[in-house]
Amino acid sequence: MKKLLFLSAFLFLLTTVFGQSPWWIGGRLGVNFTTVSGQYNGDSDTKHKWITTPVFGATAIYSVSNLIGISAELNLAKSGALYEYSYTGESRSSEKFTFRERYTTIQIPILARFTFGETWQFFAYGGFYWSYIVGGKYVAKSDNYDDQSGKIKFGDEPDNYEGDDRYLDKDYNRRMDIGLNIGGGVQRQLGPGVLFLDFRFGLGFLDSNKFPEDRDKPDGYKSFNNRSLSLSAGYIFNLGK
């Protein structure tokens, strides 16, 4: 009898707590536009262009009040850039090179969120993110050579390797990034939850290249930092409903 009373009290308490839950959970799906800044040796002839990649993930929002919330996300996204370079040789003939790198990354943003409005609600947010590259691919093209493509891996290249995969030395290439996310959007109640449309800007703080010594940096070098624009739609619902 005591166990039954305890179980009933526990279920009542659980129902009461989640009935007034400040937690919202859901997911998001969208598209990323990414590139990088930076240059070697003051080489301004190399153009960095944007590439389009998908992004999707899960989100959890803790409502401190009707106005303020804290959002945490776990996203799987692509990052990278398209590089273009034209070279004119001694024969005066011009050759165009393009190199596209695309990385698969895990991203964890922690954002302060501010919501206002009635039927149509608007929100704005800002905060920091952490990301880590789990893999990558590249495609290299030129006017006078065959296209080349393969995977991008971090680590030492195997002995006598003759494939097209590129191996990046961990001592000189960084897999992790920390940066800033700012953005906002609009949302509205739809069914049991809330449908939202979200737009954000991402600015990476860490150079993707490492230099064990400052003197190793080429003259005119500018750090390579991630840049991104993201447009996504998502759906969240209250745990108490």
The pLDDT tens digits of the residues spanning 149-165 come to 999 999 988 988 888 99
CA separation for the pair 218, 175 (Å, rounded): 21
pLDDT-derived band at 118, boundaries 50, 70, 90: confident
* Spatial CB neighbours of 48, under 8 Å, sequence gap ≥ 6: 35, 36, 37, 38, 81, 82, 83
pTM of the model: 0.83
Instruction: Look at residue 16 and tell me whether its pLDDT is greater than 60.
Output: no
What tokens were used for 5?
A: 């009373």
Determine the length of the chain. Answer: 241
Nearest-angstrom CA–CA distance, 184 and 59: 15
Q: How far is it, in rounded angstroms, from Cα 75 to Cα 59? A: 8
pLDDT of residue 94: 66
Q: Which residue has the higher pLDDT, 208 or 45?
A: 208
**Confidence bin at 177 (pLDDT 50/70/90):** very high
Average confidence (pLDDT) over 62-82 = 93
The Cα 68–Cα 239 span in angstroms is: 18
Helix (H) or strand (E) holding 16: helix 2-19
Query: Which is nearest to 221 in space by CA: 79, 35, 44?
Result: 44
Q: Under 8 Å CB-to-CB from 21, ≥6 apart: which residues? A: 238, 239, 240
- Closest to 87 measured CA to CA, from 98, 77, 75, 78: 98
Residue 215, Cβ density class (10 Å: 0-12 exposed, 13-18 middle, ≥19 buried): exposed
Q: Which residue has the higher pLDDT, 20 or 27?
A: 27
Percent of the chain whose pLDDT exceeds 70: 86
> For the domain bounded by 25-238, which CATH number is listed?
2.40.160
Reported as a pLDDT band with limits 50, 70 and 90, residue 18 is very low
Residues 45 and 86: beta-carbon distance below 8 Å: yes
